[in-house]
Structures are given as structure tokens and as C-alpha cells.
């Protein structure tokens, strides 16, 4: 289970017009790890296949074996598909790891911004009596500034993903 927003900040986030992302960075990391394991399995199968083919080729000779070797080493052969599959699985895993880190960074930054806003609101409320309520006029400004920062954070995260 990924980072969850504390209840006190959930209402504040909803008040700003945002919802907490349902993306679970922990699940993304786990899925990335599964893809890495699959890549390792594919690479192991490719290594075992290459070793077996080499044993066949080392102990024998003839036209059939020459044709086998040519097919074995050609593009689109089982070996090249396994190697490419392993590389592709590693790329998918890396992408999932990067996306999980982006989600994690975004969630942490949103929490930090909401805490800053909450502190600003508390300060405005605390100084309301001495300022005869004038400090309460700062609250909408603080909310708008936080809204702008949250939009920037989301745009940056989208920019990194679409990069």
C-alpha cells in the first residue's frame, strides 16, 4: 500500500479541487520487480539454449547442422527472440521503477504543500483577533498559491513521464 494522505489534509486537498491519486507506488515497484524476474528467466533460458545448441554443434557436423546453426543465429530465431524479450522486460521494469518514483515524489510534494498551506491557515486564524479579521483575507490567497504550485507539480510529473 502506497503513501496515503492523512485525513486532516484530505479535506484541504478536496477543497482545492484535487483528489488524492489512486496510483500505488508500492505496487508499481512490485510489478517492476516481477518484470525484472521475467527478464532474468528469459536471459537464463537464452543462455541454456545457446549452451545446448553449442553442444550439438561441437559434437557433430554436416549440412543439416550448418542449416541449424544458420537458423539458430539468424534474426527472428528463438535465441534472438529470447534475448530481445529479456531486454524488453528490463526496459518495462525500468519504466515502472521510474513511474513509481515519480508518483512517490509527487505524493510527497503534495503533502508538503498541503502542510505549508495548513500552517499558513492556522497562522491567519491565530492572528485574526489582533488584526481585526484582516489576516483571514490571506487564506484565499494562500489557497490560490497552493493551487498554482500543485498544478506546476502535476505538470512537471506529466512532463517527466511523457518526456
Could you tell me the pTM of the whole model?
Answer: 0.81
C-alpha cell at 80: 534472438
pLDDT digits (tens, 9 = 90+) for 83-95: 899 999 999 999 9
Cell of 112: 508538503
pLDDT by residue (tens digit) across 23-72?
A: 899 999 999 999 999 999 999 999 998 898 888 888 788 888 888 888 88
Q: Are 139 and 119 in contact (CB under 8 A)?
A: no
Q: Which residue has the cell 539468424?
A: 74
91 touches 98 (CB < 8 A)? no
Contact 32, 97 (CB under 8 A): yes
Instruction: Return the pLDDT at 101.
Output: 95
| Mean pLDDT along residues 130-151 | 93
Q: Which of 29, 3, 31 is nearest to 109 (CA)?
A: 3
What span, in angstroms and rounded, lies between the C-alpha atoms of 85 and 64? Answer: 28
Asked if residue 148 lies in contact with residue 111, where contact means CB atoms within 8 angstroms, the answer is no
Taking the C-alpha atoms of residue 8 and residue 59, their distance in angstroms, rounded to an integer, is 73
Asked whether the beta carbons of 79 and 73 are under 8 A apart, the reply is yes
Amino acid at each position: 500500500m502506497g503513501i496515503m494522505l492523512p485525513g486532516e489534509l484530505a479535506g484541504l486537498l478536496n477543497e482545492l479541487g484535487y483528489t488524492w491519486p489512486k496510483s500505488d507506488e508500492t505496487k508499481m515497484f512490485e510489478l517492476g520487480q516481477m518484470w525484472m524476474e521475467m527478464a532474468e528467466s528469459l536471459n537464463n533460458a537464452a543462455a541454456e539454449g545457446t549452451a545446448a545448441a553449442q553442444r550439438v554443434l561441437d559434437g557433430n557436423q554436416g549440412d543439416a547442422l550448418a542449416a541449424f546453426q544458420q537458423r539458430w543465429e539468424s534474426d527472428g530465431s528463438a535465441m534472438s527472440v529470447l534475448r530481445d524479450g529479456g531486454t524488453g522486460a528490463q526496459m518495462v521494469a525500468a519504466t515502472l521503477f521510474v513511474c513509481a518514483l515519480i508518483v512517490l515524489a509527487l505524493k510527497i510534494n503534495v503533502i508538503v504543500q498541503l502542510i505549508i498551506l495548513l500552517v499558513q491557515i492556522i497562522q491567519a486564524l491565530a492572528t485574526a483577533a489582533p488584526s481585526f479579521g484582516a489576516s483571514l483575507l490571506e487564506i484565499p490567497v494562500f489557497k490560490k498559491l497552493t493551487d498554482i504550485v500543485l498544478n506546476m507539480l502535476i505538470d512537471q510529473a506529466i512532463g517527466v513521464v511523457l518526456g
